[in-house]
Chains A and B, each alone.
Chain A
Amino acid sequence: MAEAETPVAPSPSAPPVRVYRHRLPTRVWHWVNAATLLILLMSGLMIFNAHPRLYWGEYGANFDRAWLVIGSTADAGYLRVGDWKVDTTGVLGRWTDADGAEKTWAFPGWATIPTSYSLADGRRWHLLFAWVLSIGLALYMLWTLIGGHLRKDLHVRRSEWSPRHIWRDVKDHARLRFPRGEAAARYGILQKLSYIGVIFVALPLMIATGLTMSPGMNAAWPWLLDIFGGRQSARSIHFITAFALVAFFLVHMAMVLLAGPVNELRSMITGWFRLPPEREERA
Protein backbone atom coordinates (compact mmCIF):
# COMPACT_ATOMS: atom_id res chain seq x y z
CA MET A 1 0.00 0.00 0.00
CA ALA A 2 0.93 3.66 0.23
CA GLU A 3 2.43 4.37 -3.13
CA ALA A 4 1.54 7.95 -3.83
CA GLU A 5 0.79 9.05 -7.37
CA THR A 6 2.85 12.14 -6.90
CA PRO A 7 5.65 12.79 -4.48
CA VAL A 8 4.26 16.22 -3.68
CA ALA A 9 3.28 16.58 -0.06
CA PRO A 10 -0.43 17.32 0.21
CA SER A 11 -1.55 20.68 1.46
CA PRO A 12 -5.04 21.98 2.16
CA SER A 13 -5.17 23.96 -1.06
CA ALA A 14 -3.79 21.27 -3.38
CA PRO A 15 -6.07 18.64 -4.92
CA PRO A 16 -6.26 15.48 -2.81
CA VAL A 17 -3.47 12.97 -3.21
CA ARG A 18 -4.67 9.45 -3.86
CA VAL A 19 -2.79 6.40 -2.75
CA TYR A 20 -3.40 2.77 -3.71
CA ARG A 21 -4.05 1.52 -0.22
CA HIS A 22 -5.69 -1.91 -0.45
CA ARG A 23 -4.70 -4.50 -3.01
CA LEU A 24 -7.30 -6.76 -4.61
CA PRO A 25 -6.81 -9.82 -2.35
CA THR A 26 -7.31 -7.63 0.72
CA ARG A 27 -10.50 -6.11 -0.69
CA VAL A 28 -11.99 -9.43 -1.84
CA TRP A 29 -11.14 -11.18 1.42
CA HIS A 30 -12.41 -8.27 3.48
CA TRP A 31 -15.90 -8.37 1.98
CA VAL A 32 -16.20 -12.14 1.67
CA ASN A 33 -15.05 -12.41 5.25
CA ALA A 34 -17.43 -9.68 6.46
CA ALA A 35 -20.44 -11.54 5.02
CA THR A 36 -19.12 -14.90 6.23
CA LEU A 37 -18.56 -13.69 9.78
CA LEU A 38 -22.06 -12.20 9.91
CA ILE A 39 -23.58 -15.51 8.82
CA LEU A 40 -21.37 -17.44 11.25
CA LEU A 41 -22.29 -15.13 14.13
CA MET A 42 -26.04 -15.28 13.51
CA SER A 43 -26.14 -19.03 12.87
CA GLY A 44 -23.85 -19.49 15.88
CA LEU A 45 -26.30 -17.63 18.10
CA MET A 46 -29.00 -20.02 16.85
CA ILE A 47 -26.83 -22.98 17.84
CA PHE A 48 -26.19 -21.37 21.23
CA ASN A 49 -29.97 -21.07 21.70
CA ALA A 50 -30.19 -24.87 21.75
CA HIS A 51 -28.25 -24.88 25.02
CA PRO A 52 -27.72 -21.33 26.32
CA ARG A 53 -25.26 -22.31 29.04
CA LEU A 54 -21.45 -22.28 29.06
CA TYR A 55 -19.11 -24.37 31.18
CA TRP A 56 -15.42 -24.86 31.84
CA GLY A 57 -13.80 -28.27 31.49
CA GLU A 58 -14.58 -31.37 29.54
CA TYR A 59 -18.25 -31.92 30.39
CA GLY A 60 -21.21 -29.70 31.24
CA ALA A 61 -24.97 -30.19 31.07
CA ASN A 62 -28.03 -28.87 32.85
CA PHE A 63 -27.13 -30.32 36.25
CA ASP A 64 -23.61 -28.91 36.18
CA ARG A 65 -22.60 -25.39 37.20
CA ALA A 66 -22.55 -23.04 34.21
CA TRP A 67 -20.45 -19.86 34.31
CA LEU A 68 -22.76 -18.14 31.82
CA VAL A 69 -26.49 -18.65 31.42
CA ILE A 70 -29.09 -16.86 29.36
CA GLY A 71 -32.45 -17.92 30.73
CA SER A 72 -35.96 -16.94 31.59
CA THR A 73 -38.16 -16.79 34.65
CA ALA A 74 -41.96 -16.75 34.55
CA ASP A 75 -42.04 -13.16 33.32
CA ALA A 76 -38.49 -12.02 32.56
CA GLY A 77 -35.34 -12.82 30.67
CA TYR A 78 -31.93 -12.73 32.29
CA LEU A 79 -28.22 -13.09 31.70
CA ARG A 80 -26.14 -14.59 34.49
CA VAL A 81 -22.34 -14.50 34.42
CA GLY A 82 -20.85 -16.14 37.50
CA ASP A 83 -22.87 -14.69 40.38
CA TRP A 84 -23.76 -11.50 38.52
CA LYS A 85 -27.27 -11.45 37.11
CA VAL A 86 -28.96 -8.82 34.98
CA ASP A 87 -32.50 -8.44 33.68
CA THR A 88 -32.48 -8.65 29.89
CA THR A 89 -36.21 -8.88 29.20
CA GLY A 90 -36.98 -7.85 25.63
CA VAL A 91 -33.53 -8.72 24.30
CA LEU A 92 -32.21 -11.95 25.85
CA GLY A 93 -34.10 -14.88 27.35
CA ARG A 94 -37.57 -13.42 26.90
CA TRP A 95 -38.49 -11.32 23.89
CA THR A 96 -41.26 -10.69 21.39
CA ASP A 97 -40.99 -11.92 17.83
CA ALA A 98 -42.15 -10.16 14.65
CA ASP A 99 -45.65 -11.59 15.07
CA GLY A 100 -45.92 -10.27 18.62
CA ALA A 101 -45.48 -13.70 20.20
CA GLU A 102 -43.40 -13.91 23.35
CA LYS A 103 -40.43 -16.28 23.11
CA THR A 104 -37.96 -17.57 25.66
CA TRP A 105 -35.05 -18.57 23.45
CA ALA A 106 -31.77 -16.93 24.50
CA PHE A 107 -30.99 -14.74 21.49
CA PRO A 108 -33.89 -13.02 19.69
CA GLY A 109 -35.03 -13.91 16.17
CA TRP A 110 -33.56 -10.77 14.60
CA ALA A 111 -30.08 -11.92 15.68
CA THR A 112 -30.24 -15.52 14.48
CA ILE A 113 -30.23 -17.53 11.25
CA PRO A 114 -32.94 -18.64 10.71
CA THR A 115 -35.19 -16.28 12.67
CA SER A 116 -37.28 -18.98 14.32
CA TYR A 117 -35.71 -21.83 16.25
CA SER A 118 -34.06 -24.47 14.10
CA LEU A 119 -30.86 -25.99 15.43
CA ALA A 120 -30.62 -28.13 12.28
CA ASP A 121 -30.71 -25.11 9.95
CA GLY A 122 -28.39 -23.05 12.15
CA ARG A 123 -25.87 -25.88 11.98
CA ARG A 124 -26.22 -26.20 8.19
CA TRP A 125 -25.36 -22.51 7.71
CA HIS A 126 -22.63 -22.53 10.36
CA LEU A 127 -20.85 -25.67 9.22
CA LEU A 128 -20.84 -24.66 5.53
CA PHE A 129 -19.66 -21.10 6.10
CA ALA A 130 -17.01 -22.36 8.52
CA TRP A 131 -15.41 -23.76 5.36
CA VAL A 132 -15.61 -20.37 3.62
CA LEU A 133 -13.97 -18.75 6.65
CA SER A 134 -11.24 -21.38 6.94
CA ILE A 135 -10.31 -21.54 3.27
CA GLY A 136 -10.50 -17.75 2.89
CA LEU A 137 -8.39 -17.15 5.97
CA ALA A 138 -5.78 -19.73 4.96
CA LEU A 139 -5.44 -18.20 1.49
CA TYR A 140 -5.30 -14.66 2.88
CA MET A 141 -2.69 -15.55 5.49
CA LEU A 142 -0.60 -17.14 2.77
CA TRP A 143 -0.97 -14.02 0.63
CA THR A 144 -0.02 -11.66 3.45
CA LEU A 145 3.18 -13.68 3.85
CA ILE A 146 4.05 -14.07 0.17
CA GLY A 147 2.64 -10.78 -1.10
CA GLY A 148 4.51 -8.70 1.47
CA HIS A 149 1.40 -7.31 3.20
CA LEU A 150 2.56 -8.74 6.51
CA ARG A 151 6.14 -7.52 6.17
CA LYS A 152 5.41 -4.09 4.70
CA ASP A 153 2.10 -3.05 6.27
CA LEU A 154 1.34 -5.11 9.37
CA HIS A 155 4.83 -5.71 10.73
CA VAL A 156 5.27 -3.80 13.97
CA ARG A 157 8.62 -2.00 13.81
CA ARG A 158 10.91 -1.93 16.81
CA SER A 159 10.36 1.79 17.35
CA GLU A 160 6.60 1.26 17.45
CA TRP A 161 6.86 -1.13 20.38
CA SER A 162 7.95 1.68 22.71
CA PRO A 163 5.34 2.37 25.40
CA ARG A 164 5.54 6.06 24.65
CA HIS A 165 4.67 5.49 21.00
CA ILE A 166 1.75 3.18 21.87
CA TRP A 167 0.48 5.61 24.50
CA ARG A 168 0.58 8.47 22.03
CA ASP A 169 -1.51 6.44 19.55
CA VAL A 170 -3.98 5.63 22.33
CA LYS A 171 -4.24 9.33 23.22
CA ASP A 172 -4.64 10.33 19.57
CA HIS A 173 -7.45 7.82 19.19
CA ALA A 174 -9.12 9.04 22.37
CA ARG A 175 -8.98 12.61 21.07
CA LEU A 176 -10.19 11.43 17.64
CA ARG A 177 -7.05 12.97 16.21
CA PHE A 178 -6.37 10.77 13.21
CA PRO A 179 -3.20 10.88 11.12
CA ARG A 180 -3.28 13.11 8.11
CA GLY A 181 -1.16 13.43 5.01
CA GLU A 182 1.16 10.59 4.22
CA ALA A 183 0.89 9.15 7.71
CA ALA A 184 -2.77 8.36 6.98
CA ALA A 185 -1.69 5.92 4.31
CA ARG A 186 0.10 3.74 6.85
CA TYR A 187 -1.36 1.74 9.72
CA GLY A 188 -0.80 3.01 13.25
CA ILE A 189 0.37 0.70 16.00
CA LEU A 190 -3.15 0.09 17.35
CA GLN A 191 -4.42 -0.67 13.86
CA LYS A 192 -1.57 -3.10 13.24
CA LEU A 193 -2.17 -4.88 16.52
CA SER A 194 -5.92 -5.08 15.87
CA TYR A 195 -5.55 -6.49 12.37
CA ILE A 196 -2.83 -8.93 13.44
CA GLY A 197 -5.00 -9.91 16.39
CA VAL A 198 -7.99 -10.63 14.18
CA ILE A 199 -6.17 -12.39 11.34
CA PHE A 200 -3.57 -14.34 13.29
CA VAL A 201 -5.18 -14.83 16.71
CA ALA A 202 -8.96 -14.44 16.89
CA LEU A 203 -10.01 -16.08 13.63
CA PRO A 204 -7.61 -19.06 13.97
CA LEU A 205 -8.84 -19.42 17.55
CA MET A 206 -12.44 -19.54 16.33
CA ILE A 207 -11.56 -22.31 13.88
CA ALA A 208 -9.49 -24.30 16.36
CA THR A 209 -12.07 -24.12 19.17
CA GLY A 210 -14.79 -24.94 16.64
CA LEU A 211 -12.91 -28.07 15.60
CA THR A 212 -12.35 -28.98 19.25
CA MET A 213 -16.12 -29.30 19.66
CA SER A 214 -16.20 -31.98 16.94
CA PRO A 215 -16.18 -35.52 18.38
CA GLY A 216 -14.68 -36.73 15.10
CA MET A 217 -11.81 -34.23 15.28
CA ASN A 218 -11.24 -35.17 18.93
CA ALA A 219 -10.46 -38.71 17.77
CA ALA A 220 -8.13 -37.44 15.05
CA TRP A 221 -6.42 -34.69 17.05
CA PRO A 222 -6.95 -35.35 20.76
CA TRP A 223 -4.35 -32.69 21.60
CA LEU A 224 -6.96 -30.08 20.70
CA LEU A 225 -8.72 -31.03 23.95
CA ASP A 226 -5.48 -30.56 25.89
CA ILE A 227 -4.80 -27.14 24.39
CA PHE A 228 -8.20 -25.73 25.31
CA GLY A 229 -8.84 -27.72 28.49
CA GLY A 230 -11.73 -29.82 27.25
CA ARG A 231 -14.69 -29.61 24.92
CA GLN A 232 -16.85 -27.35 27.07
CA SER A 233 -13.93 -24.97 27.65
CA ALA A 234 -13.42 -24.84 23.89
CA ARG A 235 -17.11 -24.00 23.50
CA SER A 236 -16.76 -21.18 26.05
CA ILE A 237 -13.64 -19.79 24.35
CA HIS A 238 -15.44 -20.01 20.99
CA PHE A 239 -18.27 -17.88 22.41
CA ILE A 240 -15.97 -15.35 24.11
CA THR A 241 -13.83 -14.93 21.00
CA ALA A 242 -16.95 -14.48 18.88
CA PHE A 243 -17.93 -11.53 21.06
CA ALA A 244 -14.37 -10.19 20.98
CA LEU A 245 -14.81 -10.13 17.19
CA VAL A 246 -18.14 -8.32 17.62
CA ALA A 247 -16.31 -5.77 19.80
CA PHE A 248 -13.64 -5.40 17.10
CA PHE A 249 -16.41 -4.85 14.55
CA LEU A 250 -18.01 -2.09 16.64
CA VAL A 251 -14.72 -0.25 17.14
CA HIS A 252 -13.88 -0.79 13.46
CA MET A 253 -17.23 0.78 12.45
CA ALA A 254 -16.72 3.71 14.81
CA MET A 255 -13.24 4.35 13.42
CA VAL A 256 -14.45 4.16 9.81
CA LEU A 257 -17.25 6.64 10.56
CA LEU A 258 -14.91 9.03 12.39
CA ALA A 259 -12.12 8.82 9.83
CA GLY A 260 -14.40 9.55 6.87
CA PRO A 261 -16.76 6.75 5.85
CA VAL A 262 -16.91 7.57 2.13
CA ASN A 263 -13.15 7.66 1.70
CA GLU A 264 -12.67 4.55 3.86
CA LEU A 265 -15.42 2.59 2.14
CA ARG A 266 -14.21 3.61 -1.31
CA SER A 267 -10.68 2.53 -0.51
CA MET A 268 -11.92 -0.93 0.53
CA ILE A 269 -13.88 -1.20 -2.74
CA THR A 270 -11.58 0.39 -5.33
CA GLY A 271 -8.34 0.30 -3.39
CA TRP A 272 -7.75 4.05 -3.76
CA PHE A 273 -7.61 6.23 -0.67
CA ARG A 274 -7.55 10.01 -0.57
CA LEU A 275 -5.00 11.29 1.88
CA PRO A 276 -6.58 13.79 4.25
CA PRO A 277 -4.64 17.04 3.89
CA GLU A 278 -2.17 18.05 6.57
CA ARG A 279 -3.48 20.32 9.27
CA GLU A 280 -2.55 23.93 8.76
CA GLU A 281 0.03 24.85 11.33
CA ARG A 282 -1.17 27.51 13.66
CA ALA A 283 1.12 30.47 13.39
Chain B
Amino acid sequence: MSEIMLPRRQWIARAGGLVAAAGAMPLLSGCDAINDAPAVRKILSMGEEMNRASQRALIDRHALAREFDRADLSPYFRPNGTRLPAGADYAAHAAAGFADWRVRVTGLVARPLSLSMADIRAMPQRTQITRHDCVEGWSAIGQWTGVQLSRILAAAGVQDRARYIVFRCADRLGDALYYESCDMVDARHPQTILAWALNDAVLPIANGAPLRLRIERQLGYKHAKYVNAIEAVASLDAIGAGNGGYWEDRIDYEWYAGI
Protein backbone atom coordinates (compact mmCIF):
# COMPACT_ATOMS: atom_id res chain seq x y z
CA MET B 1 0.00 0.00 0.00
CA SER B 2 2.96 2.35 0.36
CA GLU B 3 3.16 2.52 -3.44
CA ILE B 4 -0.28 4.03 -3.77
CA MET B 5 0.30 6.61 -1.07
CA LEU B 6 -0.64 10.15 -2.02
CA PRO B 7 1.92 12.50 -0.49
CA ARG B 8 -0.51 15.41 -0.40
CA ARG B 9 -3.18 13.42 1.34
CA GLN B 10 -0.63 12.17 3.79
CA TRP B 11 0.51 15.71 4.50
CA ILE B 12 -3.04 16.89 5.04
CA ALA B 13 -3.77 13.97 7.31
CA ARG B 14 -0.66 14.64 9.37
CA ALA B 15 -1.41 18.33 9.65
CA GLY B 16 -4.96 17.49 10.67
CA GLY B 17 -3.71 15.14 13.33
CA LEU B 18 -1.31 17.76 14.64
CA VAL B 19 -4.02 20.42 14.85
CA ALA B 20 -6.36 18.03 16.61
CA ALA B 21 -3.63 17.07 19.05
CA ALA B 22 -2.65 20.68 19.73
CA GLY B 23 -6.24 21.77 20.24
CA ALA B 24 -6.94 18.97 22.65
CA MET B 25 -3.63 19.31 24.51
CA PRO B 26 -4.78 21.22 27.62
CA LEU B 27 -7.75 18.90 28.00
CA LEU B 28 -5.61 15.83 27.54
CA SER B 29 -2.94 16.79 30.04
CA GLY B 30 -5.83 17.41 32.45
CA CYS B 31 -7.07 13.89 31.83
CA ASP B 32 -3.62 12.45 32.48
CA ALA B 33 -3.34 14.47 35.70
CA ILE B 34 -6.60 12.84 36.82
CA ASN B 35 -5.25 9.42 35.81
CA ASP B 36 -2.10 9.95 37.88
CA ALA B 37 -3.71 11.40 41.04
CA PRO B 38 -3.23 9.04 44.01
CA ALA B 39 -6.86 9.35 45.10
CA VAL B 40 -8.04 8.40 41.59
CA ARG B 41 -5.71 5.43 41.47
CA LYS B 42 -7.14 4.25 44.76
CA ILE B 43 -10.68 4.50 43.36
CA LEU B 44 -9.66 2.76 40.13
CA SER B 45 -8.17 -0.14 42.05
CA MET B 46 -11.61 -0.76 43.56
CA GLY B 47 -12.51 -2.36 40.24
CA GLU B 48 -9.96 -5.13 40.75
CA GLU B 49 -11.29 -5.85 44.22
CA MET B 50 -14.88 -5.92 42.91
CA ASN B 51 -13.87 -8.26 40.09
CA ARG B 52 -11.93 -10.56 42.40
CA ALA B 53 -14.65 -10.71 45.05
CA SER B 54 -17.48 -11.20 42.55
CA GLN B 55 -15.63 -13.83 40.52
CA ARG B 56 -14.59 -15.72 43.63
CA ALA B 57 -18.24 -15.66 44.76
CA LEU B 58 -19.62 -16.62 41.36
CA ILE B 59 -17.11 -19.17 40.13
CA ASP B 60 -17.06 -22.54 41.83
CA ARG B 61 -13.53 -23.11 43.11
CA HIS B 62 -13.32 -26.28 41.03
CA ALA B 63 -15.01 -24.87 37.91
CA LEU B 64 -12.83 -25.77 34.95
CA ALA B 65 -11.60 -23.62 32.14
CA ARG B 66 -12.91 -25.00 28.85
CA GLU B 67 -10.82 -27.80 27.41
CA PHE B 68 -10.62 -28.13 23.64
CA ASP B 69 -9.84 -30.84 21.07
CA ARG B 70 -6.67 -31.29 19.09
CA ALA B 71 -8.51 -29.90 16.07
CA ASP B 72 -8.85 -26.58 17.91
CA LEU B 73 -5.11 -26.06 18.47
CA SER B 74 -3.55 -22.80 17.28
CA PRO B 75 -1.31 -23.56 14.27
CA TYR B 76 1.47 -21.74 16.10
CA PHE B 77 1.46 -21.00 19.81
CA ARG B 78 2.72 -17.44 20.20
CA PRO B 79 5.43 -17.09 22.88
CA ASN B 80 5.43 -13.83 24.84
CA GLY B 81 7.59 -12.07 27.42
CA THR B 82 11.04 -13.61 27.72
CA ARG B 83 11.81 -15.87 24.76
CA LEU B 84 15.34 -16.81 25.84
CA PRO B 85 16.54 -16.16 29.40
CA ALA B 86 19.93 -14.45 29.43
CA GLY B 87 22.98 -15.72 31.27
CA ALA B 88 25.49 -18.58 31.19
CA ASP B 89 23.64 -20.44 33.92
CA TYR B 90 20.46 -20.91 31.93
CA ALA B 91 22.43 -21.60 28.75
CA ALA B 92 24.28 -24.42 30.53
CA HIS B 93 20.99 -25.89 31.73
CA ALA B 94 19.57 -25.72 28.24
CA ALA B 95 22.71 -27.36 26.78
CA ALA B 96 22.35 -30.19 29.28
CA GLY B 97 18.69 -30.70 28.41
CA PHE B 98 17.74 -29.35 31.86
CA ALA B 99 19.03 -32.60 33.46
CA ASP B 100 20.25 -30.65 36.50
CA TRP B 101 17.32 -28.23 36.70
CA ARG B 102 15.88 -28.06 40.19
CA VAL B 103 12.59 -26.71 41.45
CA ARG B 104 12.82 -25.86 45.13
CA VAL B 105 9.65 -25.88 47.22
CA THR B 106 10.13 -23.77 50.32
CA GLY B 107 8.40 -21.43 52.74
CA LEU B 108 5.50 -22.54 54.91
CA VAL B 109 5.87 -26.25 54.17
CA ALA B 110 6.48 -29.24 56.43
CA ARG B 111 8.98 -30.85 54.02
CA PRO B 112 11.00 -28.51 51.76
CA LEU B 113 11.62 -30.18 48.42
CA SER B 114 14.14 -29.94 45.63
CA LEU B 115 12.65 -31.61 42.57
CA SER B 116 14.47 -32.59 39.41
CA MET B 117 12.66 -32.74 36.06
CA ALA B 118 12.82 -36.54 36.37
CA ASP B 119 11.08 -36.31 39.76
CA ILE B 120 8.39 -34.11 38.24
CA ARG B 121 7.84 -36.40 35.25
CA ALA B 122 7.60 -39.41 37.59
CA MET B 123 4.57 -37.91 39.33
CA PRO B 124 1.00 -38.43 37.98
CA GLN B 125 0.53 -36.21 34.94
CA ARG B 126 -2.32 -34.17 33.56
CA THR B 127 -2.77 -33.21 29.90
CA GLN B 128 -5.14 -30.41 28.96
CA ILE B 129 -5.89 -28.44 25.81
CA THR B 130 -6.70 -24.92 26.93
CA ARG B 131 -6.85 -21.38 25.64
CA HIS B 132 -4.16 -18.94 26.72
CA ASP B 133 -5.47 -15.37 26.97
CA CYS B 134 -2.93 -12.58 26.94
CA VAL B 135 -3.80 -9.37 28.78
CA GLU B 136 -3.14 -7.65 25.46
CA GLY B 137 -6.15 -9.35 23.91
CA TRP B 138 -4.87 -12.23 21.79
CA SER B 139 -5.51 -15.93 22.48
CA ALA B 140 -3.77 -19.16 21.53
CA ILE B 141 -4.82 -22.75 22.15
CA GLY B 142 -2.22 -25.29 23.19
CA GLN B 143 -1.98 -28.73 24.74
CA TRP B 144 -0.10 -28.83 28.01
CA THR B 145 1.24 -31.77 29.99
CA GLY B 146 2.56 -31.53 33.50
CA VAL B 147 2.03 -32.21 37.16
CA GLN B 148 -0.77 -30.64 39.16
CA LEU B 149 0.58 -28.03 41.53
CA SER B 150 -1.71 -29.45 44.22
CA ARG B 151 0.30 -32.71 44.15
CA ILE B 152 3.57 -30.88 44.73
CA LEU B 153 2.02 -28.81 47.51
CA ALA B 154 0.68 -31.98 49.13
CA ALA B 155 4.07 -33.69 48.85
CA ALA B 156 5.69 -30.70 50.57
CA GLY B 157 2.99 -30.52 53.23
CA VAL B 158 1.87 -26.91 52.86
CA GLN B 159 0.94 -25.45 56.23
CA ASP B 160 -2.48 -24.01 56.96
CA ARG B 161 -0.95 -20.58 57.49
CA ALA B 162 0.05 -20.40 53.83
CA ARG B 163 -2.30 -18.14 51.88
CA TYR B 164 -0.33 -17.62 48.66
CA ILE B 165 2.03 -19.54 46.44
CA VAL B 166 4.88 -17.54 44.89
CA PHE B 167 6.62 -18.67 41.71
CA ARG B 168 10.26 -17.71 41.12
CA CYS B 169 11.62 -17.72 37.59
CA ALA B 170 15.01 -17.90 35.90
CA ASP B 171 14.36 -15.09 33.40
CA ARG B 172 15.50 -11.58 34.18
CA LEU B 173 13.35 -8.78 32.79
CA GLY B 174 14.96 -5.40 33.27
CA ASP B 175 15.83 -5.03 36.93
CA ALA B 176 14.57 -8.29 38.39
CA LEU B 177 13.90 -11.96 37.91
CA TYR B 178 10.30 -12.64 36.98
CA TYR B 179 7.94 -13.71 39.74
CA GLU B 180 4.22 -14.28 40.13
CA SER B 181 1.82 -15.51 42.78
CA CYS B 182 -1.65 -16.91 43.27
CA ASP B 183 -3.94 -17.70 46.15
CA MET B 184 -4.64 -21.22 47.43
CA VAL B 185 -7.90 -21.51 45.44
CA ASP B 186 -6.03 -21.28 42.14
CA ALA B 187 -2.98 -23.12 43.51
CA ARG B 188 -5.11 -26.17 44.32
CA HIS B 189 -7.31 -25.92 41.19
CA PRO B 190 -7.19 -29.19 39.20
CA GLN B 191 -6.06 -27.42 36.00
CA THR B 192 -3.24 -25.52 37.69
CA ILE B 193 -0.23 -27.50 36.52
CA LEU B 194 3.51 -27.10 36.12
CA ALA B 195 3.86 -28.00 32.46
CA TRP B 196 6.94 -29.43 30.76
CA ALA B 197 5.33 -30.32 27.40
CA LEU B 198 3.48 -28.27 24.79
CA ASN B 199 1.61 -29.96 21.93
CA ASP B 200 3.20 -33.37 22.67
CA ALA B 201 6.75 -32.02 22.47
CA VAL B 202 9.13 -30.98 25.22
CA LEU B 203 8.38 -27.37 26.14
CA PRO B 204 10.31 -25.00 23.85
CA ILE B 205 12.59 -22.43 25.49
CA ALA B 206 10.47 -19.57 24.10
CA ASN B 207 7.45 -20.99 25.96
CA GLY B 208 9.22 -21.42 29.32
CA ALA B 209 11.41 -24.55 29.30
CA PRO B 210 11.85 -26.63 31.24
CA LEU B 211 8.84 -25.85 33.43
CA ARG B 212 6.08 -23.25 33.38
CA LEU B 213 2.91 -22.57 35.27
CA ARG B 214 -0.53 -23.02 33.72
CA ILE B 215 -3.18 -21.19 35.73
CA GLU B 216 -6.06 -21.51 33.32
CA ARG B 217 -8.64 -19.13 34.77
CA GLN B 218 -6.33 -16.13 34.67
CA LEU B 219 -4.54 -14.03 32.05
CA GLY B 220 -1.18 -14.85 30.50
CA TYR B 221 1.17 -12.84 32.70
CA LYS B 222 0.19 -15.03 35.67
CA HIS B 223 1.57 -18.11 33.87
CA ALA B 224 5.17 -17.89 35.13
CA LYS B 225 7.78 -19.44 32.82
CA TYR B 226 11.24 -20.93 33.62
CA VAL B 227 10.02 -21.79 37.15
CA ASN B 228 12.82 -22.82 39.54
CA ALA B 229 11.26 -22.16 42.95
CA ILE B 230 7.87 -22.36 44.59
CA GLU B 231 7.34 -20.66 47.92
CA ALA B 232 4.35 -20.88 50.25
CA VAL B 233 3.79 -17.61 52.10
CA ALA B 234 1.26 -16.07 54.48
CA SER B 235 1.53 -12.61 52.93
CA LEU B 236 2.76 -11.04 49.70
CA ASP B 237 4.12 -7.96 51.49
CA ALA B 238 7.73 -9.15 51.44
CA ILE B 239 7.62 -10.30 47.79
CA GLY B 240 9.00 -7.61 45.48
CA ALA B 241 7.14 -4.38 46.12
CA GLY B 242 4.31 -6.29 47.76
CA ASN B 243 1.81 -6.47 44.90
CA GLY B 244 2.41 -10.12 44.18
CA GLY B 245 4.07 -10.11 40.78
CA TYR B 246 6.65 -8.61 38.45
CA TRP B 247 4.20 -6.56 36.36
CA GLU B 248 1.92 -5.88 39.33
CA ASP B 249 4.88 -4.19 41.05
CA ARG B 250 6.04 -2.25 38.00
CA ILE B 251 3.15 -1.12 35.80
CA ASP B 252 0.07 -1.75 37.94
CA TYR B 253 -1.32 -4.86 36.24
CA GLU B 254 -4.00 -6.40 38.44
CA TRP B 255 -2.88 -9.19 40.77
CA TYR B 256 -6.28 -10.85 40.22
CA ALA B 257 -6.25 -11.48 36.48
CA GLY B 258 -9.48 -13.43 36.01
CA ILE B 259 -10.84 -10.72 33.68
A47 vs B259: C-alpha distance when bound (angstroms): 13
Q: Is the CB of B64 within 8 A of A219?
A: yes
Q: Is the CB of B76 within 8 A of A63?
A: yes
A196 vs B84: C-alpha distance when bound (angstroms): 53
* Overall SS of chain A's interface: mixed
Q: Is the CB of B63 within 8 A of A220?
A: yes
Report the minimum CB–CB distance from A94 to chain B (whole Å).
9
B96 at the interface (CB under 8 A from A): no
A48 vs B137: C-alpha distance when bound (angstroms): 7
Contact segment of B20-28, B97-105, B143-151, B232-240: B20-28
B59 at the interface (CB under 8 A from A): yes
Q: Is the CB of B65 within 8 A of A127?
A: no
Give the residues in chain B near A91, CB-CB below 8 Å: 13, 16-17
Closest 5 CB pairs of A and B: A216-B258, A128-B47, A90-B13, A90-B17, A214-B259
Q: Is the CB of B78 within 8 A of A75?
A: no
Nearest CB in chain A to that of B258: its residue: A216
Interface residue ranges, B against A (CB under 8 Å): 1-2, 4-6, 9-10, 12-18, 20-22, 24-25, 28-29, 31-32, 35, 41, 43-48, 50-51, 55, 58-60, 63-66, 68, 72, 74-76, 78, 131, 133-141, 216-219, 247, 251-254, 258-259
Q: Is the CB of A127 within 8 A of B2?
A: no
In this complex, the interface size class of chain A, counting residues with CB under 8 Å from chain B, is 35 or more
Partner of A118, one of B28, B55, B251: B251
Partner of A59, one of B5, B28, B35, B139: B139
A124 at the interface (CB under 8 A from B): yes
Give the residues in chain B near A211, CB-CB below 8 Å: 259
Partner of B216, one of A109, A215, A225: A215
Report the minimum CB–CB distance from A8 to chain B (whole Å).
46
Interface residue ranges, A against B (CB under 8 Å): 47-48, 50-51, 53, 58-64, 73-76, 78, 85, 87-91, 95-98, 100, 108-110, 113-116, 118-121, 123-125, 127-131, 211, 213-220, 222, 225, 231-232, 235
Give the residues in chain B near A58, CB-CB below 8 Å: 68, 72, 131, 139, 141
Q: Is the CB of B60 within 8 A of A121?
A: no
Q: Is the CB of A231 within 8 A of B217?
A: no
Partner of A215, one of B45, B75, B258: B258
Most chain A C-beta atoms within 10 Å of own C-beta, residue among B12, B14, B17, B22: B17
Give the residues in chain A near B217, CB-CB below 8 Å: 215-216, 218-219
Q: Is the CB of B28 within 8 A of A123?
A: no
Give the residues in chain B near A64, CB-CB below 8 Å: 74-75
Report the minimum CB–CB distance from B46 to chain A (whole Å).
6
Q: Is the CB of A96 within 8 A of B18?
A: yes
Partner of B252, one of A76, A121, A220: A121
Q: Is the CB of A213 within 8 A of B252?
A: no
Nearest CB in chain B to that of A97: its residue: B21
Most chain A C-beta atoms within 10 Å of own C-beta, residue among B58, B64, B75, B133: B133
Nearest CB in chain A to that of B18: its residue: A96
Give the residues in chain A near B2, CB-CB below 8 Å: 73-76
Q: Is the CB of A219 within 8 A of B59?
A: yes
Give the residues in chain A near B14, CB-CB below 8 Å: 89-90, 95-96
Nearest CB in chain A to that of B22: its residue: A98
Report the minimum CB–CB distance from B6 to chain A (whole Å).
8
11 contacts between A and B (CB under 8 A): A63-B76, A90-B17, A97-B21, A98-B24, A98-B29, A120-B251, A123-B254, A127-B48, A215-B258, A217-B58, A220-B58
A1 vs B41: C-alpha distance when bound (angstroms): 40
A222 vs B217: C-alpha distance when bound (angstroms): 12
A130 vs B141: C-alpha distance when bound (angstroms): 27
Known: A51-B136, A128-B47, A215-B217. A98 touches B254 (CB 8 A): no
Q: Is the CB of A87 within 8 A of B24?
A: no
A30 vs B177: C-alpha distance when bound (angstroms): 48
Partner of B35, one of A98, A108, A121: A121
Give the residues in chain B near A213, CB-CB below 8 Å: 133, 137, 259
Give the residues in chain B near A75, CB-CB below 8 Å: 2, 5
Nearest CB in chain A to that of B44: its residue: A124
A88 vs B251: C-alpha distance when bound (angstroms): 30
A48 vs B136: C-alpha distance when bound (angstroms): 8
Q: Is the CB of A61 within 8 A of B74?
A: yes
